[in-house]
Amino acid sequence: MTAATRSYEVADIARQLGVSPTDLPAQICELIRTSHLEHRPIEGRERDALILRVIRELEKPLEVAGEHRLPRWEMGWGENLDAFIASGYDFAALVPKFVRPGEPVRIQGEYIQPISTGFDVDYIRILVTWLYARYFDQTSEIHEFGCGTSQNLIPAAQLYPGRPLFGYDWAKPSQGIIDLLAEHRGINIKGQVFDMFRPDPSVKLAPGAGVITIGSLEQLGTKIDPFLDFLIERRPAVVANMDSFNELYDPEHLPDALALRYDRKRGYLEGWVSKLRALEAKGVIEFLDQRRGYGNIFHEGHGYVVWRVV
């Protein structure tokens, strides 16, 4: 390690999660210790060059989220399905191909350069496992909407073996992966085609169920009401949404100002937290947690809000 290179320890991660190190359960501490979290800061001219790269990207005609993108997701998850089979059902084959190992990332509003290519996958695994450990302990079952390859349901299966898991996605290869996870990895998981633009009214949640979304709300843009109404009506015990939330950025902070422009240009999620705040003011829901902090060079795709219907 060079002088500027360091790793995140348990105390660093606790600070980033806004809790005391003693709040972190043993599994999370162990996960932190075995993760590849070595990195160095990106400063000065290197930071300028990175910001210039983001600005140049913003000047390009970027693909916009929306209903027309279904074939792209089907193709992507189809590749992961093939790779999962070819690997002999190795969880590592569930990492999406769009994850670019070794790329700079942003954390707590600053850019850093990971040293290990495993940094991004490991850091996100810590965040997701933390959400499950902190908020899903008492849930009867866990439902992820927009689950993709289900890579982020694996930590739930490991923390709570045998607890019923449900993965929903509009892309069919997602259900193919889920069937294989149940058959070859012994996970108690079921999959179903589900379009968050048009929630299926026949989908029910058991009393005490927990709901998680990770990176899927982003794709809804401003068309969020049908899915939000669907969730409220089902009264889950807890909901955790992990995404880039425009309300949580500081428009006066350069990396945040660029993230706001990036999300707007790509037609990503807008208004989710504002709607939740309005529901909180009416006494319909209550927030349990709100946190931002981790993402790629363009935006913080792994901020989170945790809430429940009152």
Q: Segment near ligand SAM (CB under 6 A), from 110-118, 165-173, 243-251, 258-266?
A: 165-173
In whole angstroms, the minimum distance from the beta carbon of 148 to ligand SAM comes to 3
Coil/strand/helix, residue 239 = strand
- Report which of 209, 215, 234, 110 is spatially closest to residue 169, judged by C-alpha positions: 215
Residue 152 binding ligand SAM, by CB under 6 A: yes
Coil/strand/helix, residue 42 = coil
Identify which of residues 139 and 149 has a Cβ nearer to ligand SAM in the complex: 149
Coil/strand/helix, residue 169 = strand
57-116 residues near ligand SAM, rule: CB under 6 A: 73
Radius of gyration of the chain (CA): 19
CA 15 to chain CA centroid, Å, is 19
Q: Segment near ligand SAM (CB under 6 A), from 167-175, 184-192, 229-237, 282-290?
A: 167-175
Rounded to 5°, the CA angle 23-276-111 comes to 55
Residue 46 φ then ψ, to 5°: -65, -40
Cβ(98)–Cβ(115) under 8 Å?
A: no
Q: Segment near ligand SAM (CB under 6 A), from 56-64, 142-150, 251-259, 266-274?
A: 142-150
Q: How far apart are CA 83 and CA 86, in angstroms?
A: 5
Identify which of residues 113 and 191 has a Cβ nearer to ligand SAM in the complex: 191
Residue 175 binding ligand SAM, by CB under 6 A: no
236-255 residues near ligand SAM, rule: CB under 6 A: none
Identify which of residues 175 and 216 has a Cβ nearer to ligand SAM in the complex: 216
Sites of contact with ligand SAM (CB under 6 A)? 73, 146-149, 151-152, 169-171, 194-197, 214-216, 219
